[in-house]
Amino acid sequence: MSQAVETESRKGGAAGAKAKEGKYLTFVLGHEEYGLEILKVREIISVMEITEVPQVPPFIKGVINLRGKVIPIIDLRLKFGMSAIEYTRETCIIVVNVRDLLLGIVVDTVAEVLDIMEKDIDPPPTFGSQIKTDFILGMGKVKGKVKILLDIDMVLSSEELEVVAEAV
């Protein structure tokens, strides 16, 4: 099988892997490592004072003023159903572009930028129709570990993104 045909057949496989090779910013939440496509990342900043916004879901921590621009902040731990923790010096905010909206996501710590090849990315696991996994691009296998590669555009539903946009 030629290289081009093999690549095409892998792309169109049963699970329809949607992750693509490239650079991913990896970060830690709890005991797991995650990755975001580097092209979605605008910058990484340390945690700063977050102004709370009333009547929003608990995972929306509030907003920050970043060089005169109001940026909504999401705590990914809370969004993913993990327990809240006290922010430390390691805690970071990754400013990302999500469907034409700048937003910050709070993570435990940023790890590194990895160049992950297509052959090292498996499709997301299937857990049945009751468990949502459409926000997972794939599972990156790097140095004997698995990184959960996120589709940051799918982490928030359209309704949740509307709430975030209104918080600004």
pLDDT of 122-145, one tens digit each?
998 876 665 577 899 999 999 899
Residue with tokens 């921590």: 61
Tell me whether strands 41-46 and 69-75 are parallel, antiparallel or unpaired. Answer: unpaired
Whether the per-residue pLDDT at 60 is higher than 70: the answer is yes
86-116 pLDDT, tens digit per residue, is 999 999 999 999 988 999 999 999 999 999 9
- How far, in Å, are 36, 65, 147, 166, 167 from residue 71 at the CA level? 19, 6, 27, 11, 9
- Predicted confidence (pLDDT) at residue 7 exceeds the cutoff of 60: no
CA 78 to chain centre: 13
Query: Which helix (H) or strand (E) covers residue 75, if one does?
Result: strand 69-75
**Whole-number pLDDT of residue 16:** 42
Structure tokens at 67: 């060089």
pTM of the predicted model, to two decimals? 0.83
Torsion of CA 16, 24, 29, 87, to 10 degrees: -150
| Residues 19, 148 contacting (CB under 8 angstroms) | no
Looking at residue 128, its pLDDT comes to: 60
Mean pLDDT of 61-74: 96
Residue 87, C-beta contacts closer than 8 angstroms, at least 6 positions apart: 47, 106
Question: Token pair for residue 10?
Answer: 């892998």
Percent of the chain with pLDDT over 90: 68
